[in-house]
Amino acid sequence: MQRRTFIFSIGLSGFSTMIKKKPGTSFEPPYFSRNEILSPYPSSTVSNTYQSPQGRAEISPPLATIKPARLKRGDTVALVAPSGATATRFEIMLVKECMEALGFKVKLGRHVFDRYGYLGGKDEDRAADLMAQFADPEVAGIIAVRGGWGCARLLPYLDFEVIRKNPKALIGYSDITALLLSVYAKTGLVTFHGPIGLDPWNSFTANYFRRLVMEGEAPLLENPVEKGDYLIPRENRVQTITPGRATGILMGGNLSIISTLLGTDFVPSWKEAILFVEDVNEEIYRVDRMLTHLRLAGVFREIKGFVFGRCTDCNPGQGYGSLTLEQMLDDHIKPLGIPAWYGSMIGHIPLKFTVPIGIKAGIDAERGVIELLEPAVAY
């Protein structure tokens, strides 16, 4: 039975008698008028200042930016499984060969083959593996083997001071977003929303990775559009939500994970950010719910621009039972009046950009372009 139905079934006087005065106190039951009971939550007479015993989580303030050293041929990169479990040794062999093809030496994390249900090992072990790579002076970069779920469970076990004192490139996407954002928030270290080890590492993906992480360039992130055998280009098109240009700090990742982290102290400041998001295999109503969460949490009040990458397999299905992704983005993003577009090559797709988190960038929403305004790595 709903609150209002119950209250009116017993009457207002009956409701008041249910609130007993504690012996030895001067407490008097509160009086609620009919209008207050019928009004939306919270009533003007109800305090809205309650906090949990731990206090409200604070957004981490911006820290001085730390750029990791660029990765070079001959450097050692560590492969870790901070999220889901790796299925086979054959998969690790493929990842190792891809890293060697880029010119790296490869170190396998101690727990990279562990399995704890759907996780790549116990939380403490996965966290220890990650921390060991940051502490190892021989390791120049860290690449997650795969995504899945589980990185957020590691955050209480990480020593961010050790990470800050041993900055190195941390690369991944999807569930790895939890690590990318928390490391940047807690240390100021630039991280990379880029390919995981099990990605196909085609020439497009590898080229952007090399240019950004290995060569220290600040490439223009613009979708390649080719007509092929068609009269007009059909693949990799962008859809402008609101035209315009903006400059800010690149921040973002997987929408589900960003939504999960809101309300914790492991998220960075969104002030003057260019927010980019992506997701996969989500019903439109779930994307709607997550963007609503960001809006209610105040994220959209802070950002200067918005880029929705790809929402792979996020289709409304047949009939008229769902909004389309375009309608939902119009509902949430267009009223903001900030430059925004949909379709950048960011996300769970074979051809993807590597996007640095914590670097200043400009965007042009009509062209669908991200222009990095500085290198993301140090020489």
Order of strands, sheet of 220-222, starting from the edge strand that comes earlier in the sequence: 220-222, 369-372, 360-364, 245-254, 273-280, 305-312, 340-342, 239-242
Q: Is 278 a catalytic residue?
A: yes
Q: What is the pTM of this model?
A: 0.84
> What does DSSP assign to residue 116?
B
For residues 310 and 349, is the Cβ–Cβ distance under 8 A?
yes
Per-residue model confidence as pLDDT tens digits over 65-111: 999 999 999 999 999 999 999 878 999 999 999 999 999 999 999 99
Q: Say how many residues make up the chain.
A: 379
Going by C-beta distance under 8 Å and a sequence separation of 6 or more, which residues neighbour residue 25?
none
What integer pLDDT is reported at residue 10 of this predicted model? 44
Q: Domain extents for the chain? A: 3-38, 76-214, 220-372
For residues 372 and 276, is the Cβ–Cβ distance under 8 A?
no
Q: Where are the beta strands (DSSP E) in 285-326?
A: 305-312
Cα–Cα dist 290/313, whole Å? 16
Domain with residues 220-372, CATH architecture? 3-Layer(bba) Sandwich (3.50)
Q: Is 371 a catalytic residue?
A: no
Of 83, 182, 278, 332, which residue is the catalytic one?
Answer: 278
Taking 50 as the pLDDT cut, the residues of the chain under it are: 1-13, 15-22, 25-56
Of 174, 182, 256, 259, which residue is the catalytic one?
Answer: 174
What integer pLDDT is reported at residue 17 of this predicted model? 47
Domain with residues 76-214, CATH architecture? 3-Layer(aba) Sandwich (3.40)
Going by C-beta distance under 8 Å and a sequence separation of 6 or more, which residues neighbour residue 7?
15, 37
Per-residue model confidence as pLDDT tens digits over 134-187: 999 999 999 999 999 999 999 999 999 999 999 999 999 999 999 999 999 999
What integer pLDDT is reported at residue 319 of this predicted model? 66
What integer pLDDT is reported at residue 24 of this predicted model? 52
What integer pLDDT is reported at residue 189 of this predicted model? 99
Would strands 245-254 and 191-193 be described as parallel, antiparallel, or unpaired? unpaired
Cα–Cα dist 182/68, whole Å? 16
Q: Is 348 a catalytic residue?
A: yes
Of 111, 193, 332, 348, which residue is the catalytic one?
Answer: 348
What integer pLDDT is reported at residue 227 of this predicted model? 85
Q: What distance lies between CA 157 and its chain's CA centroid?
A: 19
